[in-house]
Structure 1
Amino acid sequence: MSGIYIHIPFCKQACHYCDFHFSTSLKKKDEMVLALAKEIRLRKSEFENDPSESEQAKQTVGTIYFGGGTPSILAVSDLQLLIDEVYNNYNVSENPEITMEANPDDLSEVRIIELSQTKINRLSIGIQSFFEEDLKLMNRAHNSAEAKKSLEIATKYFDNISVDLIYGTPGMNNERWLQNIQTVLDLNIPHISSYALTVEPKTALQKFIQQGVVPQPDDAVTHEQFLMLVDTLETNGFVHYELSNFGKPDYFSKNNSAYWLGKKYLGIGPSAHSYDGKNRSWNIANNSIYIKSLAENKLPNETETLTETDRYNEYIMTGLRTVWGVSLDRIATEFGENMLQYLLQNAKRYLDDEKLIVENNILRTTKKGKFFCDGIASDLFWLNLEE
């Protein structure tokens, strides 16, 4: 089962930490929606089934995900048009997960009711923090009152809701961080995605830190707040199923889980990435060129064929971030016994240090090692498998 990601490249304003592709100008919004619809139609052949495939292997769209940018900036009619295009051109499963990322300031009760009457059945709400000082530092478009109100209303109409929170923010003490987590728990939200504040190149946050306006995030505080997050959520019945994601049973993100498990997906829209199991492609990150290309029935993308090295390294990276880990049997089958020995040899110091563990022939990060899993993965990478 595969997924379709639709990138909506518009925001009301630029968050200081964000390096995703978006525009704060909505002048080309209508043209963009039509271009997205056309790309959905043009790429349906990529999901056509081989007549020789078994019924089990046939490609079915199991998830549709509106990301961005800020998808909630679109009218409900725009979202419905794009959903209809998917249904009209693809084989969609009977009960697909259809997620829309949303900002609290877009979620009035009227809007939430309208969304609940569409096929959208999951909301991912970008709260980030319930404190004004944090929201101002991030340059979020909403305030604390809007954050709480949006969730109070959304829970009346949607069962499947995810909330984004950011930790490690300069000035956020541990007490405030725990209050952020507790506010979400009190509202019975079943899924939380939580990320450390990262200083990305060429963002406003990087500039402010260089100028001394904002202090550099403290790594020790960030690590401490991560551990507090894990302990609090696991105590409250959440499963830490991916480094940045926590879900109650039956509420894991099906869309994101498919990425981490190496399933195929289409990325629609400027800057969106796609994966077919062997090749990765990405659309141009330019709204004007994207719209112009689609008007000419052209797909403005580039493609690379993944080498064996790429596939091995990606599996190590995604596997160690998740509860599913890295299958040693799969490593031996797909990459050979020599690669398995290479992996185990390089993993030994982390196994000895109890940051990695092998159970049932699955290599996983321990609670102690989870925060460091990206660094651990990079130490297990192979750089010249083809040589």
Structure 2
Amino acid sequence: MAGIYIHIPFCKQACYYCDFHFSTSLKKKNELLLAIKKELVLRKHEFGNEAIKTIYFGGGTPSILNSKELHEIFEVIYSNYTVIENAEITLEANPDDLTSEKILELSKLQINRLSIGIQSFFEDDLKFMNRAHTAEESKKCLKEALKYFDNITIDLIYGVPNMSAKKWLENLKIAFEFGVPHISSYALTVEEKTALASFIKKGKVAPVDENLALEHFNLLVSQTQKQGFVHYEISNFGKPAYFSKHNTSYWLGENYLGIGPSAHSFNGTERAWNISNNAKYIKSLEANILPITVEELSVENRYNEYIMTGLRTIWGVSFTKIETDFGSEFLQKLKINAAPFIKNGLLQIKNNPDLVSVLLTTKKGKFLADGIASDLFII
């Protein structure tokens, strides 16, 4: 079964650290939503009769859309695709959008999971990031959302300059007290061409401290474990039965359709991405032309992607899958390349429940997973 990702490229204001594709101007919103609905129709046969098990509204800030706009997108999806019963349907939302009235309206749509961009429960952190909401709005919207939605995940950012361990622990404590069943947490990273990168370059902001981020990460892992969360992917912690089905499908290499400007798609052998320009995206769809670039993945590309995603998850990299999908030569190279990391206590080999040998990061290696994966790549 497949998933659909819909990119809504609008935000009220630009967060200093963000390099996703978005616009703070809503002038072309109606035209862009028409283009998104047209793209959904034009691509409805792309995965044949494969059923849709997850739908994810990302961005940008999808909660900027009103109920009527979301309803119209759902009408197009359900008219053109086979969506399974009880599909996981997620909407990313910012606290400043989640008024009591908005939450009630969302609960009456097909949406059954909210991903709320809290980032921090402290006002000074939110100002540092240039978030549009306040700390009070974060707490108020969570209290209200939990009345209508059982499946809620929140985003928290760690490694913020001058954020003490005590303050990070307090962020986690507040999240635990609300009883949210899922937390996605990311280290603050400096992306090129962002305001944060410019501030650091000019000396207005202290550089990101990797040691601080590591300290916060270790606290995150230990504290969530105490609360019964499963650390099932490097940045994701879920209570049993509350793992993100949509994001898990990415990590397990399942098919997904990316709709909207800058959205990516994957069908097992090809990766595709839409143009990252709202005006050009709209103009192209008005002419019934898909503004998409397609890349056929080489065996090496597919192998590298599997290594990258596998090492980030509790499912690891299956030796059987490597040999079946890529051949014994790839498996042999993996074992040779992984040996130094196993010796240094960063990787380990275990048997999964099906008695298949899998390569996993150790507790020591989790924070370094992406770097380790890149060293295992076949160029």
Tell me how far 1:84 sits from its aligned partner: 1.4
CA deviation after TM superposition for structure 1 residue 333, in Å: 1.4
Alignment partner, residue 56 of structure 1: none
Instruction: Identify the match of residue 355 of structure 1 among 340, 343, 346.
Output: 346
Provide the residue aligned with 1:229 in structure 2.
220
Equivalent of 2:277 in 286, 298, 302: 286
**Counterpart in the other structure of 2:173:** 182
Which of 220, 229, 235 pairs up with 2:211?
Answer: 220
- Aligned residue in 2 for 1:142: 133
The answer to whether 1:128 aligns with 2:119 is yes
CA contact (8 A) 1:47 1:90 kept: no
Residue identity (%): 61
Please name the residue that 1:269 is paired with: 260
Deviation digits for residues 353-376 of structure 1, max 9, x if unmatched? Answer: 121111110101111110000000
What is the CA-CA distance between 1:20 and the residue it aligns to? 0.2
CA apart distance, 1:335:
1.6
Equivalenced residue count is 374
User: Which residue pairs with 1:53 in the alignment?
Assistant: none
Structure 1: 5+ residue runs without aligned partners? 50-58
Structure 2 partner of 1:69: 60
Partner of 1:244: 235
C-alpha deviations, 1:100-150, integer Å up to 9, x for none?
Answer: 000000000010000001100000000000111110110000010001111
Residue of structure 1 in register with 2:332 after alignment: 341
Q: Is 2:375 aligned against 1:379?
A: yes
The amino acid of 1:368's aligned partner reads: K
Shift of 1:268: 0.2
Q: What's the counterpart of residue 354 of structure 2?
A: none
Q: CA deviation at 1:338?
A: 1.7
Q: Which residue of 2 aligns with 1:19?
A: 19
2-structure distance, mates of 1:297, 1:61: 24
Measured in 1, the distance between the counterparts of 2:4 and 2:329 equals 36
The corresponding residue for 1:46 is: 46
Instruction: Report the Cα distance in structure 1 between the residues aligned to 2:313 and 2:201, rounded to whole angstroms.
Output: 34
Q: How far apart, CA to CA, are the structure 2 residues paired with 1:335 and 1:120?
A: 38
SS of equivalent residue, structure 1 residue 134: helix
TM-score by length of 1: 0.96
CA distance in 1, matches of 2:124, 2:90: 29
TM-score by length of 2: 0.98
CA distance in 2, matches of 1:181, 1:16: 23
Deviation (angstroms), 1:279: 0.5
Partner of 1:209: 200
Q: Which residue in the other structure is 1:54 paired with?
A: none
Residues 166-208 of structure 1: CA deviation (Å, up to 9, x unaligned):
0000111111100111111000000000000000000000000
Counterparts of 2:97 and 2:129 in 1: how far apart (Å)?
18
CA distance, structure 1, for counterparts of residue 151 and residue 327 of structure 2: 41
4+ long deviations beyond 3 Å: none
In structure 2, distance between residues paired with 1:123 and 1:43: 26
1:48 maps to amino acid = G
Measure the CA separation in 2 of the matches of 1:118 and 1:337.
49
Q: Residue 52 of structure 1 corresponds to which residue in structure 2? A: none
Q: Secondary structure, in 3 states, of the residue corresponding to 1:161?
A: strand
How do residues 313-328 of structure 1 correspond to structure 2 at under 5 angstroms? 313-328=304-319
Question: Alignment partner of 2:27: what SS?
Answer: coil
Report SS of the residue matched to 2:364: helix
| Aligned twin of 1:366 | 362
**Residue 11 of structure 1 aligns to a residue in which SS?**
coil
Moved more, 5-14 or 327-336: 327-336
AA in 2 matched with 1:138: M
Summarize deviations over 1:259-305 as a string: whole Å, max 9, x none.
00000000000000000111110000000010111111110010000
Q: How far apart are the structure 2 equivalents of 1:308 and 1:249?
A: 34
Question: Following the alignment from structure 1 to structure 2, what is the Cα–Cα distance between the partners of residues 336 and 8?
Answer: 40
Shift of 1:43: 0.4
| Paired amino acid for 1:177 | W
Residues 61-88 of structure 1 deviation map (CA, whole Å, 9 limit, x = unaligned):
0000000000000111111111111110
